[in-house]
Structure 1
Amino acid sequence: MTLQATSMALPERPTSTWTGWGQWLALATMTIDHLTRYVLPGHLDLAWAGSSLGRIAFPLFAAMVAWHGLFNTRNPQRYARRILIIGLVAQLPYMMMPRASDAFILNVCFTLALGLAWGAWLRDALGRLQQGGTDLHLLLGLVFSVAAWQVAGHWVEYGHRGLLLIPLFMLAMHQLHAAGPALQQRLGAALLAAPVLVVAGLMNSSDMAKSFTVATCLVVLWLAAGAHRLAPSVPLVMPRRLWLGWYPGHFALIALWLWASGGLA
């Protein structure tokens, strides 16, 4: 079976209206996760919220980054650098959050930025391979990128599976969007979407967390397959400063609260 993949000659560019809703949902579910984990007293027994609603945030952020990196930006590497800057600003307050382990971990913005940079590079590399450009530099680059993934996965939030999610999303989104009406093309696109769901299912331990993560990925893949046309405009567009500043800002506020309440002692 021949797959139409990764030359990236897409049909019309899909609408991104759904990402306006995704931004609000991602920030809300991330904040719920962090409040239940770091701020709200344990006797309230709200861990279920982090294991359910809180598991929507990361796959949704990853999906939006993959979507914009694939469809909406001419320079994914520059987009990745912007995410990396947010991660650098957020790293200090992120490190102040109480954790079971003292191991040094880079926050999720590093996961998103590295995943996007890797996904964009792999997209270009696969396109060159399809055009017969199998030179030594390209093969060495592929080997190096896998080695870098293996090393970086020990240092970033969500680990190796988190780094895989954006490249897999980009491949699946491209195939789902570009597939024609033929059954063979649809089946090929569905096959390339399956690894996204497998990785999403492996990212969590509890059945509840797995179900919310996988369901989030399924919805985004459905949008890539054509349902993006059904999304209405969001009534209130998220201010750009709020979108860029919420991640480091909410960690700073949580750290301040923990310090004032003695939680950082």
Structure 2
Amino acid sequence: MIQQARLVSRTTAPRPSSTWTGWGQWLALVTMTVDHLVRYAVPEQWGLGWADASIGRIAFPLFAAMVAWHGLFNTRNPLRYARRILVIGLVAQLPYMLMPRDAEGLIFNICFTLALGLTGGVWLTALRERLGRGALGAPRLAAEAGLAIAAWAVAGLWVEYSHLGLLMIPLYMVAMRALHEGGEALVERLAATALALPVLVAAGLMNSSDMAKSFTVATCLSVLLLAAGAHRPVPRVPVSMPRRLWLGWYPGHFAAIALGLGLAGGPV
């Protein structure tokens, strides 16, 4: 879903180390799989709902963080990166639709949320640069902002994690850039901290239970600390994620769950 590429920094500060994402890939896949197994395959009488509300709440903010990190610091063409994520989502959509769910109607899987969120983050990042150059007049700004808000309002009705999920990557990118480029002066540190607060608020609002909120916000906070400088001492992961496993696990694990449910005679 998230592919590291050979790339150049998009910020004025030196490009940060991305070694933490090697660990993040393994953690994201494990926690996502736990979440989906508990939600779709494990009988309720087993009493494992706590895993969905705790371990399972790490996956999405971690995936969104890695997409935002690579889109901001690592890839020359973040829109092409978004298209690659979208292709995985298209492959995964059919097995995703076979999962038992309470809500009716068509919902597009998390890859669509990530791809659209990255697209919004790219627009928001470029907007800052265009405003700084004075290359964007008020009418054009109003038109673009109106279209962006309309697209967000409509897309949020159709994708997993809805409107708040779509905001995560743009807010991550704003926060990461501010924390990474922030200077040593108190005013700069306070400004960077202020720009980091919206993504933490959005993460907290995505869940209803206190446990779920805690795990989601803690995941976001951990990534923001990495952007603020904690990325430097992180060692490389001993076993790198195989590319084929990384790209194929999301659609593949849904297909495996759907097959298991079919052989078992339906949802448990």
Q: What range describes the TM-score normalised by the shorter chain of this pair?
A: over 0.9
SS in 2 for 1:225: helix
Shift in Å at residue 133 of structure 1? Answer: 1.9
Shift in Å at residue 218 of structure 1? Answer: 0.4
Aligned to 2:197: 194
d(CA) in 1 for partners of 2:250, 2:11: 34
Counterpart code for 1:177? H
d(CA) in 2 for partners of 1:134, 1:70: 21
Aligned to 1:151: 154
Shift in Å at residue 137 of structure 1? Answer: 3.4
Aligned to 1:33: 35
Counterpart code for 2:100? P
Counterpart code for 2:21? T
SS in 1 for 2:266: coil
d(CA) in 1 for partners of 2:258, 2:142: 45
SS in 2 for 1:83: helix
Aligned to 1:231: 234
Shift in Å at residue 10 of structure 1? Answer: 2.2
d(CA) in 1 for partners of 2:45, 2:194: 44
Question: Structure 1 residues 45, 264: closer, same or farther in 2, change over 3 A?
Answer: closer
The 5-angstrom pairing of residues 192-231 of structure 1 reads 192-231=195-234
d(CA) in 1 for partners of 2:66, 2:101: 28
d(CA) in 2 for partners of 1:255, 1:165: 29
Aligned to 2:254: 251
Aligned to 1:184: 187
Aligned to 1:124: 126
Aligned to 2:4: none
Instruction: Determine if contact 2:20/2:231 at 8 Å carries over to the other structure.
Output: yes
d(CA) in 1 for partners of 2:233, 2:150: 41
Shift in Å at residue 142 of structure 1? Answer: 1.8
**1:141 and 2:144 equivalent?**
yes
The one-character-per-residue Cα deviations of 1:128-182 (angstroms, maximum 9, x if unpaired) are 1122122333431221011100110000000000000000000000000000111
Shift in Å at residue 212 of structure 1? Answer: 0.1
Shift in Å at residue 126 of structure 1? Answer: 2.0
Shift in Å at residue 206 of structure 1? Answer: 0.2
Q: Which moved more, 1:130-139 or 1:87-96?
A: 130-139
Counterpart code for 2:178? Q
d(CA) in 2 for partners of 1:59, 1:231: 19
Instruction: Determine if contact 1:20/1:238 at 8 Å carries over to the other structure.
Output: yes
d(CA) in 1 for partners of 2:165, 2:65: 11
Aligned to 2:56: 54
Shift in Å at residue 81 of structure 1? Answer: 0.2
Structure 1: which 5+ residue stretches go unaligned?
A: 1-7
Aligned to 2:74: 72
Shift in Å at residue 264 of structure 1? Answer: 5.3
Aligned to 1:3: none
d(CA) in 2 for partners of 1:102, 1:159: 14
Instruction: Determine if contact 1:10/1:177 at 8 Å carries over to the other structure.
Output: no
d(CA) in 1 for partners of 2:267, 2:236: 42
SS in 2 for 1:226: helix
SS in 1 for 2:58: helix
Aligned length: 258
SS in 2 for 1:14: coil
The one-character-per-residue Cα deviations of 1:183-215 (angstroms, maximum 9, x if unpaired) are 111110000000011000000000000000000
Please tell me the root mean square deviation across aligned C-alpha atoms, in Å: 1.1
What is the percent sequence identity of the aligned residues?
A: 67
